[in-house]
Structure 1
Amino acid sequence: MTLDAQSLPDWGWMALAIALAPAIGSFIGLLSLRLPADRPVVAARSACDGCGRRLGVLDLVPVLSFVALRGRCRSCGSPIARRYLLLEVGCALLAAWAGFVHPGPLGLAGALLACQLVLLCLLDAEHFWLPRVVTLPLIASGLLISALGGAQAALHSLIGAAAGYLSLVGIGALYRRLRGREGLGGGDAYMLAGAGAWVGWIGLPTTLLWASLAGLSLVAASLLAGRAVKADQRLPFGVFLAAGTWLTWLYGPLGGLEL
């Protein structure tokens, strides 16, 4: 899949993505805290958790504000959550990675994908929750970006979204019938639909392979650390799906298949 644009050179697209990513990363930090708590996202202004002072523009400049304030509120000296700095820097690095592998406007699209995956990773890792308010935009953005690449890419994306959703819904129903309990969260199917929208139906097997390897790596690391993994222990499958989606989008399906 390719996106053609002549308005900016390749380095310009990468610079734009890297410039925007920290601000999006900061917003992701806000969403990751407010969505699980069912707090307003847009209506309520950001404030210091220590003294309640509303934060101004100079307090909210990504990365620079944290460095200038030495990670503390200018009023009460309370520490600023480092998750914001990590997300701002991390999203910028992911944007650079996308731009390096896919120079041009497609790299900017990759930065958008990365930011959505980061938010889903946080929500699933911390709350075992993949809300539709995040997974549905993942599907929609994948379909839109693919449509810009032409009719064939759009068709592959649409089939990928449908196949991703139906495959996990079917597996979940089969597990429930055989084991008498839920084995997959409802958000996993929507997230795999989003993956299919971004990588197409051809990329779905590779996405699931990478996700499985990521999950097995976590289990192996836990065993090496002396922490036994119980058979019924919950694992954040969305985190593994995010890794699989990202690697497949960057480097394509294994075996050299292309859309």
Structure 2
Amino acid sequence: MSDALAFAGGLALLGAILGSFLATLAIRWPQERTALAGRSACDSCGRPLRAIELMPLVSALLQRGRCRSCGAAIDPRHWRIEAGAAAIGLASGLLAPGWAGVAGAMFGWLLLTLAAIDAAELILPDELTATLAAVGLASAALVPQPAFADRMIGAGAGFLSLWFLSTFYGALRGREVMGEGDPRLLAAIGCWLGWQVLPLVLFAAAAVGLLTAGIARLRGGAVAWDSELPFGTFLSIAAYMVWAGMIACPACWPSF
């Protein structure tokens, strides 16, 4: 038990560290700024950050959410993504100690990044979606289930199902009903989960979307039937939920 907890704790720590980079990536990507070059700096005044200001989660608490130089509020996505990545690492490690847990954490971290970008900007960068797909197929070498063939079928089925839905329903409505990135994201998810559970992913994503819209309405938000919603975010949440369910209940596989 202690080894399992240590493994999960290690993945949680790694998630918090990676989350710092993923948050920067999610914030800078829509601005066409790189997160790979140069020192980390305040988004407002540009002052290079010191080592203590780069500690995941801890720095946000110490600085009380503000830059020590200019006093500008630090984008809360930094600590939220760090916390989310740490939670994903912990959950993945507890559910599946070993390579399956590492793969699940990578799946969750990439989904988290895409979800954060889509929630803020309503875009799903092709480069990140392609990375999710490629890592999913490569993970078959470490995690044999689902089979590689099922992953490949999942990629095709995932893309075509949402593409047809978007094309034909959009033609009926006379407007675009779904972004071009959503079919590609479901294809990438199929590279991880296989084709069998994709209907469950779609059902769960719709449920998450309805719940989100309902909460927004209760809070007084203006949400209508034709409002633009980040379906990629809902897909990302649903995909990790389904992965966790598959790991928690391996015997359920044949029923999907």
Match of 1:166 among 143, 156, 160: 160
TM-score (norm 1): 0.86
Range with bigger deviation, 102-111 or 153-162: 102-111
Decide whether the 8 Å contact of 1:14 with 1:104 is kept in 2.
no
Identity %: 38
- Contact persistence 1:13–1:105 (CA under 8 A): no
Work out whether 1:257 is the aligned partner of 2:247: no
Partner of 2:100: 106
Q: Is the 8 A contact 1:165 1:190 kept in 2?
A: yes
Aligned partner of residue 201 in structure 1, secondary structure: coil
Q: Confirm or deny: 8 A CA contact 1:13 1:107 kept in the other structure.
A: no
Deviation of 1:168 after TM superposition, in Å, equals 1.0
Residue of structure 2 aligned with 1:58, choices 45, 52, 55: 52
Per the TM alignment, residue 52 of structure 1 is displaced from its structure 2 partner at its CA by 2.4
Tell me, in whole angstroms, the C-alpha distance in 1 between the residues paired with 2:201 and 2:220.
29
User: Do the aligned partners of residues 135 and 50 (structure 1) sit closer, same or farther apart at CA in structure 2, a change above 3 Å counting?
Assistant: closer
Contact 1:50–1:78 (CA under 8 A) maintained in structure 2: yes
Give the match for residue 45 of structure 1. 39
The 3 A distance-change label for structure 1 pair 105 and 82 is same
Q: Secondary structure at the match of 1:183?
A: coil
Which residue in 2 is equivalent to 1:3?
Answer: none
Structure 2 distance, partners of 1:195, 1:56, is: 37
CA shift for structure 1 position 33 = 1.5
Question: How far apart are residue 78 of structure 1 and its match?
Answer: 4.1
TM-score (norm 2): 0.87
Aligned residue pairs: how many?
Answer: 252
Select the residue among 152, 176, 182 that pairs with 1:182.
Answer: 176
Aligned-partner residue type, residue 249 of structure 1? W
Partner of 1:84: 78
SS at match of 2:30: coil
Query: Aligned to 2:143, what secondary structure does the other structure show?
Result: coil
What corresponds to 1:155 in structure 2?
149
Aligned-residue CA RMSD (Å) = 2.5
- In 2, the alpha carbon distance for the partners of 1:59 and 1:113 equals 28
Residue 21 of structure 2 contacts residue 35 of structure 2 at CA under 8 Å; is this kept in 1?
Answer: no
Deviation at 1:126, TM superposition (A): 1.0
Residue 132 (structure 2) aligns with = 138
8 Å CA contact retained: 1:188, 1:238: yes
The alpha-carbon deviation at position 144 of structure 1 amounts to: 1.2
- Which residue is 1:5 aligned to? none
1:214 aligns with 2:208: yes
In the TM superposition, residue 66 of structure 1 has moved relative to its aligned partner by 3.2
Task: Flag structure 1 segments of 5+ consecutive residues without an equivalent.
Answer: 1-8
Q: Which region of structure 1 is more displaced relative to structure 2, 202-211 or 174-183?
A: 174-183
SS in 2 for 1:36: helix
Structure 1 contact 208–241 (Cα < 8 Å) conserved: yes
